[in-house]
């Protein structure tokens, strides 16, 4: 059967629209469309540490200051500035959970969150110091990872300049066209 010219023209139009829709779909995914999680990576080794959907603002009256920052995906996430007893300052974002190694026993002293004890939190792959994990101070000084993860009363404060956004990292890792064979 031979295709008449008008029918061929229609088919060409349908194919063109399909290709255009596919391109739209792919480009929306590539730019991290609404509803997609953005991952935060360890800046030292690239290990996946936390997801933007787990960010949860826990305000502390001991913070020196706080500001809104658009660091995580398209979410505005408050960043708090803290100072430790040695005078070092850290800007942190708080999360419900994060894939960090917690160094129990927890310490009640010099806490930035009254009523909570803290442990140092490091990257499970490269051991870089990424922040602190907080648990209620009435808890035992040492708990299991599962007890920490399952509780709604625990959280993790991560130092923002020790993290990298996955979406941003992938733009850095794209190979320039001139390097492709
Ligand atoms: Zn790491």
The CATH number assigned to the domain holding 67 equals 2.170.150.20
Q: What is the mean pLDDT of residues 150-179?
A: 81
> Which residue, among 55, 144, 125, has the nearest Cα to 97 in the 3D structure?
55
| Residue 57 within any structural domain of the chain | yes
Alpha-carbon distances of 98 from 51, 148, 154, rounded to whole Å: 8, 11, 11
The length of the chain in residues reads 181
- Is the same domain home to 90 and 136? yes
Indicate the pTM of the whole model. Answer: 0.74
44 CA → ligand 1 middle, Å: 5
pLDDT in the model for residue 70:
62
101 CA → ligand 1 middle, Å: 11
- Is the same domain home to 110 and 85? yes
Q: What is the mean pLDDT of residues 105-127?
A: 97
Q: What is the mean pLDDT of residues 21-44?
A: 64
122 CA → ligand 1 middle, Å: 8
Structural domain containing residue 120: 39-167
Q: Are 66 and 86 in contact (CB under 8 A)?
A: no
| Residue 98 within any structural domain of the chain | yes
pLDDT in the model for residue 137:
97
| Residue 180 within any structural domain of the chain | no
| Residue 173 within any structural domain of the chain | no
- Is the same domain home to 99 and 121? yes
- Is the same domain home to 14 and 98? no
| Residue 181 within any structural domain of the chain | no
158 CA → ligand 1 middle, Å: 13
Specify the higher pLDDT residue, 20 or 100. 100
130 CA → ligand 1 middle, Å: 8
138 CA → ligand 1 middle, Å: 31
- Is the same domain home to 94 and 163? yes
100 CA → ligand 1 middle, Å: 9
| Residue 46 within any structural domain of the chain | yes
- Is the same domain home to 64 and 2? no
- Is the same domain home to 56 and 136? yes
User: How far apart are the C-alpha atoms of 117 and 94, rounded to whole Å?
Assistant: 15
Is residue 91 very low, low, confident or very high in pLDDT (cuts 50, 70, 90)? very high
Question: What is the tally of structural domains in the chain?
Answer: 2
pLDDT in the model for residue 5:
53
43 CA → ligand 1 middle, Å: 7
């Amino acid at each position: 059967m031979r295709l008449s010219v008008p029918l061929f023209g229609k088919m060409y139009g349908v194919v063109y629209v399909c290709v255009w829709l596919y391109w739209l779909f792919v480009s929306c995914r590539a730019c991290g469309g609404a509803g997609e999680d953005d991952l935060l990576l360890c800046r030292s080794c690239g290990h996946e540490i936390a997801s933007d959907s787990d960010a949860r603002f826990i305000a502390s009256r001991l913070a020196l200051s706080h500001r809104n920052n658009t660091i995580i995906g398209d979410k505005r996430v408050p960043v708090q500035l803290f100072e430790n007893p040695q005078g070092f300052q850290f800007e942190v974002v708080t999360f419900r959970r994060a894939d960090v190694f917690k160094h129990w026993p927890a310490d009640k002293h010099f806490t930035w969150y009254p009523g909570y004890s803290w442990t140092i939190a490091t990257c499970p792959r490269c051991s870089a110091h990424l922040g602190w994990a907080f648990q209620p101070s009435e808890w035992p000084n040492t708990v299991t990872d599962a007890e920490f993860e399952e509780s709604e009363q625990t959280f993790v404060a991560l130092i923002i300049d020790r993290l990298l956004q996955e979406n941003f990292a992938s733009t850095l890792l794209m190979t320039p066209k001139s390097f492709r064979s």
